[in-house]
Amino acid sequence: MKRVVVTGLGIMSPCGNDPVTFFANLVAARSGIGRHSRVFPEDTTCWLTGEIPPFSTAGFTPMRLGTLDRTTLIALLAARQAIADAKLVVNDKARAAVYWGTGLGGAGTMEESYRRSLGHVAKARLKPSTVVMTMNNAAASEISLDTGFTGPAYTYSVACASAAIAIGEALRAIRNGYCDCAIAGGADSLLTLGSLKAWQALQTLAREDAANPGSSCRPFAADRSGFVLSEGAGALVLEEAESAVARGATIYAELAGFGSTSDASHITKPSAEGQARALGMALDDAALKPDDIGYINAHGTATAAGDLTESDAIKAAFGAAAMRVPVSSTKALHGHVMGATGAVEFIAALMALRENVIPPTAHLHKPDPACDLDYVPNKARRADNLHAVMSNSFAFGGNNAVLIATRFTC
């Protein structure tokens, strides 16, 4: 079976629009969360969100921008970054693929079409591009168009595990010879009034800390109150290892393991058993033992059920090693980027591996006694020669995905 390496990274996130800035902000515990910039005319609630900082759209004509949902736009920008970072050379574009994840695709366009259609605008008519802007495979297809890659361009919509599963499936495709390289990752931008209200109705959103809104998301803390809805995109260039080495690519890490399970128990309530199986499966896939893992980027949504279940799952899968492995949730800083979260947080783990620095769980000043692992509270930690890192993504629907990266050696 072929080995697979990561040779390029791209990111658009509330904590920065390139991997270096993003990781520096995580390490410094600088939050990208704040009060939402847009005031919705229908609802004056002051929403707390994680918005991507302003970015350039140079090179896109107004017509092109007008026919791309924001999710697709940030996906394209992240993918372009990753390809540039990798200095990717593709000799046979039919052997290059796109594996992309998204939870709600063109949510903003969809909501705007509903808003116009359902009585808010007299005799509303919709943009002719509405269908191709809202479809869930828009981002994957636009990346395919942008790159000219003519291998498979697949979309995985698995809620919060979407991007992690897309990356894992790309790993399997390259390993098994279905393609030589892939852009893999995910994007979501659903900071719309309808989405915010839906998540609020589910009682999952964090209460605002009025004194410091950026500290409102507190994973693993006794004073947690939920997550902050954010937008983001993360992209990786994955290549078959031998050809990447042969072309002299700079290699971030080997994508060494992927575990994926379903709970089949409850639509929202997570299962430690299902998560632990995914963790164990990823370890087996990477041929690693729990003690080999030097850092886990947790799913860590700052909900009581989520934090406790994930901690239990790590204990079940890691045994005694669970108490030794540093675990942090960077969602405290960038919020929950939904379908992109598996890519954005895997990039955090890859940067940790590269820099030998473990980003903290910010805003963890009141530990929850029921969460008793090493959550790297508040301050980044230098690590001694990290060898392997893990990233967890657990989705509504009971879908669990775990990725492992290792320092690459030929």
Partner 1 sequence: MQTFDTIREMIIEQFQLDPTLITPEATLESLNIDSLSTVEFIFLLEEKYKIEASDRVELRTVQDLVNEIDRLVAAKQGGLPAKTDTA
Which chain residues interact with partner 1 by CB under 8 A?
61-63, 66-67, 125, 127-129, 132
Report the alpha-carbon distance of residue 372 to residue 10 in Å, rounded.
34
Radius of gyration, alpha carbons of the chain: 20
What are the angstrom distances between the C-alpha of 282 and each of 204, 261, 290? 28, 10, 10
Report the alpha-carbon distance of residue 336 to residue 162 in Å, rounded.
13
Active-site residue 36, yes or no?
no
Report the alpha-carbon distance of residue 347 to residue 33 in Å, rounded.
19
127: three-class secondary structure by DSSP:
coil
Q: How far is the CB of 123 from partner 1 (least distance, A)?
A: 8
Q: How far is the CB of 10 from partner 1 (least distance, A)?
A: 24
**Pick 40 or 60: Cβ nearer partner 1:** 60
143: three-class secondary structure by DSSP:
helix
Looking at 179, 181, 299, 371, which residue is catalytic?
299
Active-site residue 371, yes or no?
no
Looking at 36, 336, 363, 371, which residue is catalytic?
336
Can you point out the beta strands (E) in 275-380?
Answer: 293-297, 327-328, 357-358
Chain position carrying tokens 């495709």: 173
**Pick 132 or 249: Cβ nearer partner 1:** 132
Q: How far is the CB of 155 from partner 1 (least distance, A)?
A: 20
Q: How far is the CB of 148 from partner 1 (least distance, A)?
A: 17
Q: How far is the CB of 63 from partner 1 (least distance, A)?
A: 4
**Pick 128 or 248: Cβ nearer partner 1:** 128
Q: How far is the CB of 127 from partner 1 (least distance, A)?
A: 6
375: three-class secondary structure by DSSP:
coil
Active-site residue 336, yes or no?
yes
Looking at 160, 179, 217, 371, which residue is catalytic?
160
**Pick 128 or 369: Cβ nearer partner 1:** 128
**Pick 63 or 264: Cβ nearer partner 1:** 63
**Pick 131 or 287: Cβ nearer partner 1:** 131
- Nearest Cα to Cα of residue 252 among 73, 39, 405, 27: 405
The number of angstroms, rounded, from the C-alpha of 209 to the middle of its chain's C-alpha atoms is 25
DSSP label at 18? S
Tokens at residue 30, please? 């600088």
Cα torsion angle, 288, 291, 292, 293, sign: positive
Question: Which helix or strand (DSSP H or E) is residue 349 part of?
Answer: helix 341-355
Report the alpha-carbon distance of residue 143 to residue 81 in Å, rounded.
12
- Nearest Cα to Cα of residue 273 among 309, 299, 304: 309
**Pick 125 or 382: Cβ nearer partner 1:** 125
Under 8 Å between Cβ of 226 and 203: yes
User: CA-CA-CA-CA torsion for 372, 374, 377, 381, nearest 10 degrees?
Assistant: 170
What are the angstrom distances between the C-alpha of 4 and each of 156, 199, 407, 408? 20, 37, 12, 10
**Pick 123 or 382: Cβ nearer partner 1:** 123
Q: How far is the CB of 54 from partner 1 (least distance, A)?
A: 21
Tokens at residue 331, please? 């969602």
Q: How far is the CB of 13 from partner 1 (least distance, A)?
A: 29
| Terminal Cα distance for the chain, rounded | 15
Positions annotated as catalytic residues are 160, 299, 336
